[in-house]
Chains A and B, each alone.
Chain A
Amino acid sequence: MVESTCFHCGNDCDKNSINYDQKTFCCNGCKTVYDIFSNHDLSCYYDLQSAPGAIPKEIEGKYDYLDTPAIAEKLIEFDDDNTQIITLYIPHIHCSSCIWILENLHKLQPEISVSQVNFPKKTVRITFNNKSISLKEVVSLLSTIGYEPYISLEDYSTGAQQINRSLIYKLGIAGFAFGNVMFLSFPEYFEVSEFWLERYKHTFRWLMFAFSIPVVFYAAQEYFISAYKGLRSRILNIDIPIALGILALFMRSTIEIIFDWGTGFFDSLTGLVFFLLLGKFFQQRTYSFLSFERDYKSYFPIAVTRISKDNKKEKSIQVYDIKKGDRLLIRNRELIPVDCILIKGDAQIDYSFVTGEREPVVKQSGDKLFAGGKQMNAAIEIEAIKSVEQSYLTQLWSNDIFTSKASVSFTNLTDTISKYFTIVILSIAILATTFWIIVDATKAIHVFTAVLIIACPCALALARPFALGNILRIFGKHKFYLKNTDVIEQLAQIDSIIFDKTGTITTATSGAIQYHGMPLTPEEESLLKNTLRASNHPLSRKLYAILDQYDIMTLDDYQEYLGKGISGTLDQDHIKIGSSDFVGGTTITEKLNTSVHISANNTYKGHYSFHNQYRNGVQSIFEALSKDYELTILSGDNDGEKEYLTKFLPEETTLLFNQKPNNKLNYIKSLQQKNQKVVMVGDGLNDAGALKQSNVGIAISENVNVFSPACDAILDASKFDQISTYLTVSKNGIRIIKSSFVLSFIYNIIGLFFAVTGQLSPIIAAILMPLSSISVVLYVTLLTNISCKKISKST
């Protein structure tokens, strides 16, 4: 058979592939979606992008809660008599085909009138007729075509969000005023006394004044507020000289035109504000499809199914309404929202949200289950023993670090410099003024304002946003997503790096499996494979996948012993697979590795052990980092791998095992008390506290569309080996900014010369200000681009 990929989802097709309509499909789900699309004339979906689809998941009963009006009400944005609008987050949106199909939903379901995709946010806004179809039907329709929306507890609590567009308004106003003022001030640049000019210049000047009013009082508002706040908390931030400059420009220009002394500096004033806002806009770039503020709410479902004790009726209830003692039904792939006791059913709990460990854990009835686990098997019944807020996992969020909004006031580079800058500028202004009072008192006030105007640190304020904004974008292209530009600066300062083990330096995808013991005969191996085929246990599936292909045979006897193992019989041969006790093997010194023991015909054969697979390049990364940073591994697991880790990691690495989420947080706190700047690299919700406490929390994610805990940066797992490059680039970035400060100081000195000698004319200001800003912006953009070449090269 020719190797082929699924026409719908692009996955590799194995033997079970389906041929239909001359196309190959990996599973029935994909075929069904294709069928739906081709029946509705939507096969164009496959022309825009090859294999754009996703396998539709089983959703039976999962969205029943959407029929509960109280829950649906919270999600729906707009509700008229017969029209409803809802915005749904769909993680699968990734290409133009997705946009196309989702905006053509009305062809599939005529009751949907409009659907509009926001691609960067991965949301679709659907308007539908709620008399004919319900919200639940809309969601199920999306799920059947492979676009299952993600609805979490977070949607429930936040509701409709307000988008802040004030920066765009401000930028628009400043740009509008800047352009017009430039036109109006142009005639006077040449200082020719001509009849027309003399006659109309007053009109021109007052028009410029009118244009600059909204710029000063609306667009530049933030600088005044920030300067005021800085003064009140006794910090001389960069906004103080900016605010002073703007104020000086506006006051002096107004006085000049009132007394007919000159044209004023309205052009420089509006230009300055426009450039400053542009810098802010450039820096503001965020990844709207990623969220850096997630807590457990974005992982948890909105509602669960409660089974009433008296009449066994199922009813959807809001998770916050779960009370101690409630009987709940958890379906396949649903999340357990509370700490509970398993009552009925086979539980295979995947705690990857919590620990990063993707190996499902098998539980039996009577066992305690913790909130945050995902059921991977058929539906189970549980009894809640706590409420949602009091569960083990959610309690972490009641720690001070989450409740206090204390963003440890981080003073960035420009603020550090501006402290000295402001003092120097003010003293120059005062000195120059006193000098001119003695020499020529009429000029004194001119010189004072001129110094404040020219010293306005436009270039200084622009260097950082443009340099860091550019690095931020380049990092984003290389799958390292930062929350904001401050993170780069903080990355450049760190001296200690802490790694979580499971899921961070180990991969979840492929564990190495090794066999120890007597070699198995082909017959035994064939029997082993066939016995494993019947089992759904995650370890069985893994082992099954690595064994060679054998013909499929029907077993004479197959038995599964819960929590112990499985056994199979064929003809005369009998095989037992499972724990050491069950197999009856010689109890060799039980290693802490997960292992599966095998015995055939009652003789012990050996065992397969499952190792954690470390990511590629872990060793070289640690080696490279250990030169400059203190490294620590904090693992929530037992110390089974300690020996191995000490062997292959640099000697100085500190290894700590059995760390609870709170231990991790406290460990970082203790390092910080020793004045260390700490980076935490983690992945699961159990690292959430540590990620928050650290100076920079980096979440490693196999798939950035899947959820990661609150952090400062999200790193795609495939780029794990690039960590040290990102750190060096951040450091270089800071160096580039510092060097650009030198450049802007030179401009300031030239400007100050004009100002102090009392010959600052509007035209000099109008040339010098944009010139300095633009050249500094070009300088930093160019240099950061060059320094980031390193990342592209090494990938």
Chain B
Amino acid sequence: MGVIYILLTISIIVAIVFFISFIIAVKNGQYDDVYTPSVRMLFDDEIVKDQNAKPSKTTKTKQS
């Protein structure tokens, strides 16, 4: 019988956790600039590649 109350409490707590995390994200300014992070996340790969295969990379740029 009481199980529905437990379920309700859990579902609302989960919803509120997400809601609070959204508020915190906005407060931290994560929604102020929605473009730059999309570009930035691609860079890490570039740098790693650059370090691993540095010799080939530099020769490539020289040829071009």
Contact = CB atoms under 8 A, between A and B. Distances in A.
B61 A47 contact: yes
* Band of interface residues on B: 20 to 34
Contact of A44 (B4, B27, B35, B46): B46
A100 B43 contact: yes
Contacts of A200: 4
Interface stretch (A117-125, A245-253, A386-394): A117-125
A43 B62 CA distance: 11
A172 B26 CA distance: 10
Given A44-B47, A203-B8, A168 B39 contact: no
A119 B42 CA distance: 15
A172 B22 contact: yes
Given A43-B61, A203-B8, A121 B33 contact: yes
A119 B23 contact: no
A207 B9 CA distance: 11
B40 A103 contact: yes
A172 B30 CA distance: 14
Interface string A100-113: 10010000000000
Interface in A118-175: 118-121, 163, 165, 168-169, 172-173
A456 interface: no
B33 A120 contact: yes
Nearest to A48: B46
Given A46-B61, A168-B31, A99 B22 contact: no
Contacts of A22: 62
A282 interface: no
Interface of A is mostly: helix
A180 interface: yes
Given A119-B39, A120-B33, A165-B26, A207 B62 contact: no
A96 interface: yes
Nearest to A98: B39
B33 A172 contact: no
A377 B29 CA distance: 44
Interface string A35-55: 000000101101110000000
Contacts of B50: 41, 44
Nearest to B34: A120
Contact of B5 (A99, A103, A118, A203): A203
Contacts of B61: 43, 46-47
Contacts of A119: 33, 35-36, 39
Given A100-B43, A103-B40, A200-B4, A172 B35 contact: no
A743 B22 CA distance: 36
A169 B24 CA distance: 10
A779 interface: no
B6 interface: no
A643 interface: no
A120 B35 contact: yes
A708 to B, nearest CB: 23
B10 interface: no
A194 interface: no
A103 B37 CA distance: 12
Given A99-B36, A163-B32, A203-B5, A168 B26 contact: yes
Given A96-B39, A165-B26, A118 B15 contact: no
B58 interface: yes
A118 B36 contact: yes
Nearest to B43: A100
A165 B29 CA distance: 9
B40 A118 contact: no
Interface in A185-240: 196, 200, 203, 207
Contacts of B12: 180, 207
Given A96-B39, A165-B26, A176 B46 contact: no
A193 to B, nearest CB: 18
Contacts of B42: 96
Nearest to A21: B62
Nearest to B38: A119
Q: Which of B15, B29, B36, B42 has the most CB of A within 10 A?
A: B36
Nearest to B60: A47
A426 to B, nearest CB: 37
Contacts of B57: 47
7 contacts: A41-B50, A44-B46, A96-B42, A165-B26, A169-B26, A172-B19, A180-B12
Interface of A: 21-22, 41, 43-44, 46-48, 96, 99-100, 103, 116-121, 163, 165, 168-169, 172-173, 176, 179-180, 196, 200, 203, 207
